[in-house]
Structure 1
Amino acid sequence: MSGAARVKILSADEVKAYIEPLVDILIDCVEGGAAVSFMLPIARHKAIDFWERAAQNVACGERVLLIADDLDGRVVGTVQLVTSFPENQPHRADVSKMLVRRDARRQGVAASLLAAVEEVAREAAKSVLVLDTETGSDAERLYERAGWQRVGEIPNCGFTPDGRPCGTTFFHKLLSPSDVATTTRLTSAS
């Protein structure tokens, strides 16, 4: 699906317009066992609140939200780039809430989202990216294949949606300063 998935950045208003499919993705992932901050049973209103807060953060310029849709226009994945950090970390961003519908996995959606969010980071002059994921998850292998470096693991850092303790593995990726500088110059010139 890597050629079939279309990735786009959403404005705050677009996030609001996409709340329902984003809620569906979040619920699908949590019900599938993804340790992404929510417990079972996940109430729809909690998922709606989460995405409404995300829209507010997008409007404030604190994060960028991307979605991937398939050829039929169905939203099948999402990821966020958190860009708001203290003034001594203007070059840093966190990749957050990489979510792909279970029926769209292993089709290149996550890889497309990851490549796109890295490009968004370059365009925002971010050279240090950080993320965390459930230890032992398929996502770990995705990040390693994409050149992310494992930093370490915290055992029992969180819980799976059904209440079992799970570890969290942290990764970072240094984007080439020349890539960031070139992208920034090209973006500034437009």
Structure 2
Amino acid sequence: MTIEVIASKRVEQGTGASRRLRRAGQVPGIVYGFGIEPEAVTLNHNDLYHAMQHEAFHASILNLNIDGKTQPVLLRDAHYHPWKQQVMHVDFQRVNPNEKIHIKVPLHFINADIAPGVKLGGGIVSHVMTEADIECLPGKLPEFIEVDLAKLDAGHSLHLDAIKLPEGVEFVALKHGDNATVATILAVRGGGEETAA
């Protein structure tokens, strides 16, 4: 999925200039990385805000179009207004297609309803993680990682090393020897004690 983000070069900088931009429905931003000088940009607030409501926007290579010139970038940071639905500032990082990137991607859980721990044991699935740090080349970046709970029993957990990853994608935690728990099925106690009470 290709997502294009339209931006313009930003000439005026500083707090006052940023305030004026926001009042005019624009969002100040910065693009950095790939050994090129950082570039100040401005984006349409409503277009950006609506695009950022989609999960894929946060874990995809974006095509940032600055005054007609397109470059691949990742959304690295976004600052929001404390109480208004307003994006205050965004940071984009340029992407080198031959250099591995390190990014958080969402986890999508499937087959929880047919897991033995739920179907037979009446357990409850607990998602310990909802996203994970991965490392891969930009061209291999998945929008999400699927976590299959089909074989999970009550009282058991699923760890990072049990998740099938697309080719060329690695979990950063596993590279550092941390086989973290991703999901677990909590066994539900019988209602005997409650009845007695």
Structure number, greater radius of gyration: 2
Q: Which structure dedicates a bigger proportion of its chain to strand?
A: 2
TM-score by length of 1: 0.24
More relative contact order, 1 or 2 (CA 8 Å, 6+ apart): 1
TM-score by length of 2: 0.23
